[in-house]
Chains A and B, each alone.
Chain A
Amino acid sequence: MSAVVFARHQITPAERLRDAGWVAFVALILGIPLIGLTTVDAGGSLEVSTRFGLLAACVVAAFGGRLGLRWMIDTMGARKLERQRADTGKSVGISPVKVVNVIGWIALGASIALPIMYSDNRYVVDTATTVLIYVMLGWGLNVVVGLAGLLDLGYVAFYAVGAYSYALLSTQYGWGFWEALPVSGGLAATFGILLGYPILRLRGDYLAIVTLGFGEIIRIILVNWTEFSNGPNGISSIPRPTLFGLEFSRSAAEGEQTFSTFFGIDYSPMHRLIFLYYLILVLALLTHAFVSRLRKLPIGRAWEALREDEIACQAMGMNTTNIKLSAFAIGAMLGGFAGMFFAARQGFISPESFTFTESAIILAIVVLGGMGSQMGVVLAATLLVLIPEFGRNFSEYRMLLFGAAMVLIMVWKPSGLLSHREPTLRLSRGGARNQDALEEAAQ
């Protein structure tokens, strides 16, 4: 297999052909059982028949595809190098920060206007709400993975804790959405610290494995502890959030008013959807403001320093235990809020909503967006929710499309869509001075 090269140097046409040849060979070996042989129903009994024509076509496609992919990667790499060479020396025209800021404001405007423009389109509002849930989850996980550099593969556990604590508090004890909000967040944060303690000494792969286990433990407890969580059947009729006591239903409970009667408008089921959309939008924006502010505070800088070099942190007198636990707690709390919103929106939750796949998607959002980048998360969450939606037309090829899109993005931008890091504070305000200084230093 070593013949399939990822060489940094310029490769010759012969090498290219050999590389593509190897890939075609692998495709052939895999293809014989997968494509070449098939079973057909011959009047009650199964018979094996061959499809070598199709197999040959697939092998040729693999050969051509590999050749094309290599060529594309190489030319893009070369062009990037050239651009880098051209960039050094002269200062950059438009700063990436400004572009990202402008995109951010446009996205904000669009997200406020969206339910007004699509006020009768249930599908659009629902999908947009899903995007925002993932944006919020991405921002929460960004604290743990993007800033503190602690690879967490079990983030969904905190999402589940938030969802179940609201579901149980509301159905068992009659708590409303707003009273339950701080409690759910607090419980999720407590779980974050509980998970944090045993894994303080772990890093990288080991950390990932333990957090993965933690996510599964929570899910398995929810499945098996029937008296507590109602097991695989889940919890239904979770009350929906109200707007200062106004319900979004056709008829109100005794002594209460509904949203439509209070404002004297006709009842429409869309009101609730639009309200939920704005609710998650506000929660997400608060999350964003909170995390962006923390990043500029000692705690946020400590998280980033921890990601960069834990030993250096200790040598600077920083208590890395507290720093790690605070990252876990805050990340978990934000996940808990998102989970709680999820429960309130669905009205029904079961352990099936909290599988490892969810964790993987949230992590993919953070990595694809560019570790630590807040706007990157928005972009990646939008892509990751919308691509499978658009892919519905392609029915069974949907996930294939999804995978291909992810691979392409990672080939095109290996460090994420928006990987630029903006300093948390600055000494000077001019970029030109810095350029001079660097040249001076290089001499």
Chain B
Amino acid sequence: MSTLLSVCELTMRFGGLTAIDQLSLEVPAGKITGIIGPNGAGKTTLFNCLTGFYKPTTGTLRLNHPTRGELRLESLSSHRVARDAQVVRTFQNIRLFPKMTVLENLIVAQHNVLQRASKFSIAGIFALPVYRKAEGEAMARAETWLRRLKLERLADHAAGDLPYGIQRRIEIARALCVNPVLLCLDEPAAGLNPRESAELNELLLYLCGEMGIAILLIEHDMSVVMNVSDHICVINYGRKIAEGSPEKVQNDPQVIKAYLGEDDEDDADDASGGIAA
């Protein structure tokens, strides 16, 4: 099993606050790695460091790109992380292009390929064959993912007007159109109903099983994380407090303590039940 991403002694400070503290973590290729932790643990901050939105205070982020060799994510700007390293993320508070249609959202995600084919827009303006071909391919890719995520009938609706659960799906479809090697999902099951989260499970397993995309998954919904993750990393106050298979993590006393607070010793049994739920 090869390592796709290795996070080494990552620290992120905001003034006096240390959001991530000497965190080390390995993300294997083609597997689902879950990241859990109480609110404010630093999970989203980890994603922001990974995808170039924050510059880490110290530490390294090495990506073993399958075709481009080793890339240091901490030195890339956010758009290059997505374009060159193909590490693509979604957001905890959905960030779609609300007035554009679902299809347009997915086409915008393929901007770099299309922009190159449009040759500074000149081939685009005159609709030359190079551009038409690229546009056709982009449409085909978008259509494939729309179909796979059962969105094709909503393709021409403004994305911002659709229900919350569907917007979450659109955001994943859009990220997939960037052609990721590592997909970072920030709470994709938040706000989904049980049927929708079951579908999400199935989708995640398909993405890593069939498509070979490695997934880094932040999630509070235990029915999702525990069922799909190959490996789970638990963070609290920016530090890794436990790591291992879902079963191992669920029964880890440190984890139970972190979720319930130090003082509630007597509730520890309920806690393990709650996490397993």
A interface residues, Cβ below 8 angstroms from B? 290, 293-294, 297-299, 301-302, 304-305, 308-309, 311-320, 421, 423-428, 433-434, 436-438, 440-442
Contact = CB atoms under 8 A, between A and B. Distances in A.
B13 interface: no
Contact of B97 (A309, A440, A442): A309
Contacts of A314: 52-53, 77-79, 82
Contacts of A316: 79, 82, 88, 108-109, 111, 174-175, 178
9 contacts: A293-B124, A298-B115, A299-B124, A301-B108, A309-B95, A315-B82, A320-B79, A425-B107, A426-B156
Contact of A427 (B79, B96, B98, B103): B103
Contact of A318 (B100, B112, B118): B112
Nearest to A321: B79
B15 interface: no
B208 interface: no
Given A314-B79, A316-B174, A428-B156, A423 B107 contact: no
Contact of B111 (A308, A317, A428): A317
A297 B111 contact: no
Nearest to B155: A427
Contacts of A312: 91, 95-97
B152 interface: yes
Nearest to A301: B108
B71 to A, nearest CB: 14
A297 B125 contact: yes
Nearest to A306: B97
B66 interface: no
Given A315-B82, A434-B154, A305 B108 contact: yes
Interface residues of B, number: 49
A433 B118 CA distance: 32
A304 B103 contact: no
A429 B124 CA distance: 23
Given A301-B100, A309-B95, A437-B154, 5 more contacts: A301-B108, A308-B96, A311-B53, A317-B178, A427-B156
Nearest to A429: B156
Main secondary structure of the interface of A (DSSP, over half): helix
Given A314-B82, A441-B163, A441-B166, A297 B121 contact: yes
Contacts of A318: 79, 83, 108, 111-112
A314 B156 CA distance: 24
Contacts of B174: 316
B114 A298 contact: yes
Contact of A315 (B88, B114, B139, B152): B88
A441 B91 CA distance: 22
B97 A308 contact: yes
B163 A442 contact: yes
A308 B100 contact: yes
Q: Which of B82, B121, B158, B174: most chain A CB closer than 10 A?
A: B121
Q: Which of B53, B89, B100, B152: most chain A CB closer than 10 A?
A: B100
A232 B225 CA distance: 71
Interface in B118-175: 118, 121, 124-125, 139, 143, 146, 152-158, 162-163, 166, 174-175
Given A301-B104, A320-B79, A423-B100, A438 B157 contact: yes
A425 B79 CA distance: 25
Q: Which of A298, A312, A433: most chain B CB closer than 10 A?
A: A298
A302 B96 CA distance: 13
Contacts of A442: 163
A265 to B, nearest CB: 39
A311 B95 contact: yes
B33 interface: no
B112 A317 contact: yes
